[in-house]
Structure 1
Amino acid sequence: MTNEGCSAVTSALKSNPSHLRELNLSRNKLGDSGVKNLSDLLMNTQFKLEKLQLSNCEMTDEGCSAVTSALKSNPSHLRELNLSWNKLGDSGVKNLSDLLMNTQFKLEKLDLCGCRITEKQCLILTSALKSNPSHLRELNLTGNKLGDSGVKNLSDLLMNTQFKLEKLDLWNCSITEKQCLILTSALKSNPSHLRELDLSGNQIKNTGVNHLCDVLKDSHCKLERLSLYDCGITDVSSLTQSLTNTKALQFLKELDLSNNMFGDSKQRLIDVLRDSNCKLSVW
């Protein structure tokens, strides 16, 4: 669908706005002009949308600013927002952050996968979430370069006992061993809510895995899915020991260690998980 098609759809919805709860326009070539027409609809207080998907819509900072500005005038209903694979830019991130700070905005799921978010922009976003932390349950920052300050600010957010995040996706975010230590230290201080953690595609290596073991050892940890695909791991003996001697296996359902070269230490881990309910991927 092009921006003309989007205009036709939004014009139709304007005439009957009160019932729609979910709208998915992902993978359509809406562009900024098409998104602006949608924004007029989002401002309508009769429009009580709960789920909006705009992934890969060729939207830039102008379009993102239009959408988030519209939502600021009608913030109370939306629970899920997907802006993945759009280039948000500085102004788009700033407007989104202003929206996230609004205490009337009770977003539960935010997907910003592949949005080319920079370290500075990540800092702005996470600072906004720190001021309104209690509602978000899922956060996807896959494919963005968080940098040291972005990781530090995200970690500060994870430490907040009001922040009850259940799913965190950080695939391919260039997270280092040092940054992994900062993240896991934060998780150790507030471990009970997180159910899914994806650190795949980050070179956290054995040091990062050892830090994650400290989280798993915490009796309050209830992690169900842990993804460490292609993380430069060569030894999983500490992970095996953690899963053997803690309650972690009572909760863990999926463990992805694919595309790591950990040799002989693999077999012991396979043996430990054989009689558990945890699905292990190691190939």
Structure 2
Amino acid sequence: MLTYQSMSESQRELHDFVKNASGWLLQQERLTDGGDVDSLRENQIGDVGAQAIAETLKVSDVGAQAIAETLKVNTPLFSLEVACNQIGDAGARAFAEALKVNSSLRMLTLSWNQLGDAGAQAIAEALKVNTTMERLYLYHNQIGDAGAQAIAEALKVNTNLIWIRLHANRIGDAGAQAIAAALGENKTMTELHLARNCIGQVGVQALDEARKVNRILTQLDIEDQINPLAFSLLPRLTTSEDWQSVFHLLTGRHELENQPALLPALPAEIAELVMDEAEYLQGVQHIHQAWSRYNQFDFLKLTMPRSSDGNSIRVKAIQVLREQYKAKSGRFDLIVRDEQGAVRYKWAAKARVVDSTIQLVTISPTDHPVIRQLRAGWEVEVQLGQYYSFVRLASLSVGYIERQD
């Protein structure tokens, strides 16, 4: 359990900042590079920092169980924004525990983070018992159907929430139907934002029907839904730890369960080939999901990382995906720069149209020699072309393996 004594200096700074804050704690207050406490937005706080902040939101008697120093009730603080950081599910769970006992916070913003279904489920459980939260902003995260279904269950019993913003997530028909059912029971919600998810016709129809029945809801935003196929086409990239675990399973001699025989140990070259054919790759990925039609972006870029063990990396594929109002056959302009920023290659990759709204291109080492030359520190950029203002979702993914030198 995180205690004040176990916090790092930066965690204590965040902890004390929120503890002593009052009123609105929003983006106009910033953490500067020099360490002066001015803000919580765009600070790369992450899960551990989020846990430190969450501890300050607990009332003193409950907080005393988690931290050695008794915390005072932070009654002046009624609004907290911790947007544009790297808070994931672990950080969301910490905030959820705080919401169960906090009695002053009325608005919480955790948008533009990395919250998934597990984080949303934790917050949903807290909403079932929280009695003061009125506005919850979770837009531009990675919440899918499971998270939306959990929030829907909370809406059936919560009697104080009036606004929820869940736009630019990954909620589909199942999540939308669950929320629609909850609106039949909820008597306090006035605004619900679900635009730019991947809700199909079934989910949209369910929400429309719920709006007709619910007399309290005054605004329901379900515009500009993303084609659900786009998310399924994104590559599933693994972590370095998982890749190494599978590699060692293939190259080591392991006993079969309830069998005296051993699995044969494969040579490293054969193990790499097996994993290549299975497309079990590590990778880096830049995904941008526009939160409105005015949120325009015309390029994506990422930097190749260093391997976990110091060996070189071998790039296996680059994938670019673009989902827009109406896809047209065209191209993506790709640019590769070295560590010094010098342009090494620039070429146009022709994209194919998938399901009317999606353009997709996958580039392998056989398609272009630069793929074999990519190394740590090099930058890959894709320019989205002249129709970028109509793009709702775009992704740039680079899959690679670490050479076993």
What is the TM-score when the length of structure 2 is the normalising length? 0.45
Partner of 1:131: 157
Cross-structure match for 2:22 = 20
Corresponding residue of 1:64: 92
Question: Which of 51, 54, 59 is equivalent to 2:82?
Answer: 54
Indicate if the aligned counterparts of 1:99 and 1:105 stay in contact, CA closer than 8 A: no
CA distance in 1, matches of 2:226, 2:141: 21
Residue 222 of structure 2, aligned match among 199, 207, 214 = 199
CA contact (8 A) 2:173 2:200 kept: no
Give secondary structure in 1 for the equivalent of 2:199: coil
In structure 1, the residue corresponding to 2:25 is in which secondary structure? strand
CA deviation vs aligned residue, 1:175-228 (integer Å, no higher than 9, x gap): 2222211111111111x3333332221279xxxxxxxxxxxxxxxxxxxxxx99
- Match among 103, 126, 134 for residue 108 of structure 1: 134
- For 1:105 and 1:111, the matched residues in 2 are separated by 17
Residue among 77, 101, 121 paired with 1:94? 121
Aligned residue pairs: how many?
Answer: 202
1:10 alignment partner AA: H
Q: Distance in 1 between matches of 2:17 and 2:221?
A: 40
Aligned with residue 190 of structure 2, among 166, 172, 183 = 166
> Unaligned regions of 5+ residues in structure 2, if any?
1-7, 27-39, 61-72, 228-291, 295-323, 327-389, 391-405
Partner in structure 1 of residue 200 of structure 2? 176
1:117 is displaced (CA, Å) by: 0.6
Structure with higher helix content: 1
What displacement does 1:149 show?
2.0
Distance 1:188 1:12, change over 3 A: closer
Task: Please name the residue that 1:10 is paired with.
Answer: 15
Identify which of 93, 112, 118 aligns with 1:85.
112
1:153 is paired with a residue whose SS is: helix
CA distance in 1, matches of 2:17, 2:203: 48
Overall identity of the aligned pairs, in %: 29
Q: Cα 1:62–1:13, aligned 2, differ >3 Å: closer, same or farther?
A: closer
**Cα pair 2:18 2:53 within 8 Å, conserved:** no
What is the CA distance between 1:101 and its match in structure 2?
0.6
Partners of 1:203 and 1:85 lie apart in 2 by 18
Q: Hey, what does 1:41 align to over in structure 2?
A: 56
| CA distance in 1 between partners of 2:17 and 2:193 (Å) | 36
Secondary structure, counterpart of 1:50 in structure 2: strand
- How far the C-alpha of 1:13 sits from its partner, in A, is 5.2
Structure 2 CA distance for aligned equivalents of residues 88 and 148 of structure 1: 20
Inter-partner Cα distance in structure 2 for 1:36 and 1:66: 5
Root-mean-square deviation (CA, aligned residues, Å) is 2.8
Which entry has the higher C-alpha Rg, 1 or 2? 2
What stretches of structure 1 of length at least 5 have no aligned partner?
Answer: 205-226, 233-258, 260-283
Counterpart of 2:86 in 1: which secondary structure? Answer: coil
| Cα distance change on mapping 1:158 and 1:68 into 2, 3 Å | same
2:97 & 2:180 partners in 1: Cα distance? 28
Amino acid at match of 1:193: I
1:29 maps onto 2:31 in alignment: no
1-structure distance, mates of 2:192, 2:180: 12
Report the 3-state secondary structure (helix = DSSP H, G, I; strand = E; otherwise coil) of the residue aligned with 2:192.
strand
Q: 1:153 to 1:228 in 2, by over 3 A?
A: farther
**3-state SS, counterpart of residue 49 of structure 2:** helix
Shift of 1:105: 2.5
| Residues 84 and 112, structure 2, Cα contact 8 Å, conserved in 1 | yes
TM-superposition CA deviations, 1:127-159 (whole Å, max 9, x none) = 122122x22211111112222221111101222
- Check whether the contact 1:199–1:228 (CA below 8 A) recurs between aligned residues: no
Q: Take 1:69 and 1:185, find their aligned partners in 2: how far apart are those partners?
A: 34
Give the equivalent residue in structure 2 for 1:240: none
Equivalent residue, structure 2, for 1:148: 173
- Distance change >3 Å, CA 127–CA 10, structure 1 → 2: same
One-letter amino acid of the structure 1 residue matched with residue 25 of structure 2: L
Contact preservation (8 Å) 1:177, 1:203: no
